[in-house]
Protein backbone atom coordinates (compact mmCIF):
# COMPACT_ATOMS: atom_id res chain seq x y z
CA UNK A 1 0.00 0.00 0.00
CA UNK A 2 1.04 3.56 -0.52
CA UNK A 3 1.20 6.43 1.90
CA UNK A 4 -1.24 5.36 4.54
CA UNK A 5 0.94 5.90 7.58
CA UNK A 6 -0.86 8.92 8.92
CA UNK A 7 -4.38 7.84 8.20
CA UNK A 8 -3.83 4.09 8.79
CA UNK A 9 -7.17 2.28 8.48
CA UNK A 10 -8.84 5.28 6.86
CA UNK A 11 -6.28 5.14 4.04
CA UNK A 12 -8.76 3.14 1.99
CA UNK A 13 -10.76 6.33 1.48
CA UNK A 14 -7.84 7.83 -0.45
CA UNK A 15 -7.81 11.60 -0.63
CA UNK A 16 -11.54 11.79 -0.13
CA UNK A 17 -13.11 13.71 2.77
CA UNK A 18 -9.86 15.46 3.83
CA UNK A 19 -7.49 14.53 6.63
CA UNK A 20 -9.56 15.97 9.47
CA UNK A 21 -12.49 13.68 8.81
CA UNK A 22 -10.24 10.71 8.07
CA UNK A 23 -8.50 11.22 11.41
CA UNK A 24 -11.87 11.08 13.11
CA UNK A 25 -12.61 7.84 11.24
CA UNK A 26 -9.38 6.37 12.60
CA UNK A 27 -10.45 7.20 16.14
CA UNK A 28 -13.74 5.37 15.69
CA UNK A 29 -12.21 2.41 13.85
CA UNK A 30 -9.54 1.92 16.51
CA UNK A 31 -12.26 1.76 19.11
CA UNK A 32 -14.28 -0.64 16.98
CA UNK A 33 -11.33 -3.01 16.67
CA UNK A 34 -11.27 -3.50 20.42
CA UNK A 35 -13.54 -6.43 21.11
CA UNK A 36 -16.12 -5.62 23.75
CA UNK A 37 -17.16 -8.15 26.35
CA UNK A 38 -20.63 -9.68 26.24
CA UNK A 39 -22.75 -8.38 29.14
CA UNK A 40 -24.26 -11.85 29.59
CA UNK A 41 -21.36 -14.29 29.44
CA UNK A 42 -18.38 -11.94 29.63
CA UNK A 43 -16.64 -13.36 26.54
CA UNK A 44 -15.20 -10.86 24.12
CA UNK A 45 -17.17 -12.26 21.22
CA UNK A 46 -19.43 -9.38 20.33
CA UNK A 47 -20.23 -8.73 16.73
CA UNK A 48 -22.06 -5.69 15.44
CA UNK A 49 -24.72 -6.99 13.09
CA UNK A 50 -26.24 -3.64 12.31
CA UNK A 51 -26.50 -0.13 13.68
CA UNK A 52 -27.22 -0.47 17.39
CA UNK A 53 -27.59 -4.26 17.35
CA UNK A 54 -24.88 -6.55 18.66
CA UNK A 55 -24.73 -10.30 18.94
CA UNK A 56 -22.51 -12.49 21.09
CA UNK A 57 -20.92 -15.28 19.12
CA UNK A 58 -20.41 -17.25 22.32
CA UNK A 59 -23.86 -17.35 23.88
CA UNK A 60 -25.85 -15.86 20.96
CA UNK A 61 -27.13 -13.11 23.21
CA UNK A 62 -28.54 -10.43 20.92
CA UNK A 63 -28.87 -6.97 22.38
CA UNK A 64 -29.18 -3.32 21.54
CA UNK A 65 -26.34 -0.92 22.16
CA UNK A 66 -24.99 2.27 20.72
CA UNK A 67 -25.02 2.76 16.97
CA UNK A 68 -21.31 1.95 16.70
CA UNK A 69 -20.30 0.65 20.12
CA UNK A 70 -22.03 -1.89 22.34
CA UNK A 71 -21.67 0.37 25.37
CA UNK A 72 -22.50 4.05 25.39
CA UNK A 73 -22.27 6.68 28.10
CA UNK A 74 -26.05 6.93 28.47
CA UNK A 75 -26.35 3.15 28.39
CA UNK A 76 -23.86 2.98 31.26
CA UNK A 77 -25.83 5.48 33.32
CA UNK A 78 -29.08 3.58 32.75
CA UNK A 79 -27.29 0.34 33.63
CA UNK A 80 -26.09 1.82 36.90
CA UNK A 81 -29.59 3.08 37.67
CA UNK A 82 -30.96 -0.42 37.14
CA UNK A 83 -28.22 -1.91 39.31
CA UNK A 84 -28.97 0.49 42.13
CA UNK A 85 -32.72 0.06 41.67
CA UNK A 86 -33.00 3.83 41.85
CA UNK A 87 -35.72 3.88 39.22
CA UNK A 88 -38.59 4.31 41.67
CA UNK A 89 -37.08 7.50 43.08
CA UNK A 90 -36.07 8.55 39.59
CA UNK A 91 -39.61 8.13 38.33
CA UNK A 92 -41.16 10.18 41.14
CA UNK A 93 -38.65 12.93 40.40
CA UNK A 94 -39.48 12.76 36.71
CA UNK A 95 -43.20 12.94 37.43
CA UNK A 96 -42.74 15.94 39.68
CA UNK A 97 -40.78 17.62 36.90
CA UNK A 98 -43.47 16.69 34.39
CA UNK A 99 -46.23 18.20 36.53
CA UNK A 100 -44.20 21.38 36.97
CA UNK A 101 -43.54 21.53 33.21
CA UNK A 102 -47.23 21.06 32.46
CA UNK A 103 -48.18 23.84 34.82
CA UNK A 104 -45.76 26.17 33.05
CA UNK A 105 -47.08 25.01 29.67
CA UNK A 106 -50.67 25.72 30.70
CA UNK A 107 -49.71 29.16 31.91
CA UNK A 108 -47.86 29.89 28.67
CA UNK A 109 -50.73 28.54 26.57
CA UNK A 110 -53.22 30.74 28.44
CA UNK A 111 -50.99 33.75 27.91
CA UNK A 112 -50.53 32.91 24.22
CA UNK A 113 -54.27 32.44 23.75
CA UNK A 114 -54.91 35.86 25.20
CA UNK A 115 -52.29 37.36 22.91
CA UNK A 116 -53.51 35.39 19.86
CA UNK A 117 -57.05 36.63 20.39
CA UNK A 118 -55.80 40.14 20.54
CA UNK A 119 -53.77 39.62 17.36
CA UNK A 120 -56.71 38.02 15.54
CA UNK A 121 -58.95 40.94 16.45
CA UNK A 122 -56.50 43.54 15.23
CA UNK A 123 -55.81 41.50 12.04
CA UNK A 124 -59.53 41.35 11.38
CA UNK A 125 -59.86 45.05 11.71
CA UNK A 126 -56.98 45.72 9.34
CA UNK A 127 -57.57 42.96 6.74
CA UNK A 128 -60.12 42.40 3.94
Specify the DSSP element, H or E, that contains 64. strand 62-64
117 binds Zn ion (CB under 5 A): no
55 binds Zn ion (CB under 5 A): no
CB-wise, 23 or 58, nearer to Zn ion? 58
Contact with Zn ion (CB under 5 A): which of 8, 52, 58, 72?
58
8 binds Zn ion (CB under 5 A): no
Torsional class of 85: left (φ above 0), alpha (ψ -120 to 50), beta (otherwise): left
Q: Binding string to Zn ion for residues 21 to 50, with x set by CB under 5 A, is what?
A: -----------------x-xx---------
Select the span of 22-30, 59-67, 81-89, 95-103 touching Zn ion (CB under 5 A).
Answer: 59-67
How far is Cα 112 from Cα 115, in angstroms, rounded to an integer? Answer: 5
Chain centroid, CA 69 distance in Å = 11
71 binds Zn ion (CB under 5 A): no
CB-wise, 11 or 39, nearer to Zn ion? 39
Q: Are 46 and 70 in contact (CB under 8 A)?
A: yes
CB-wise, 10 or 56, nearer to Zn ion? 56
Q: Are 73 and 81 in contact (CB under 8 A)?
A: no
Specify the DSSP element, H or E, that contains 39. none
Interacting residues with Zn ion (CB under 5 A)? 38, 40-41, 56, 58-59, 61
Amino acid sequence: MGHTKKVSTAGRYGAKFGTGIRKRIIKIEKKQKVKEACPKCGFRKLKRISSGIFICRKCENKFAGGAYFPNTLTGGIVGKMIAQKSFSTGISELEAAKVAAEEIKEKEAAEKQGKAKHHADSAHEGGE
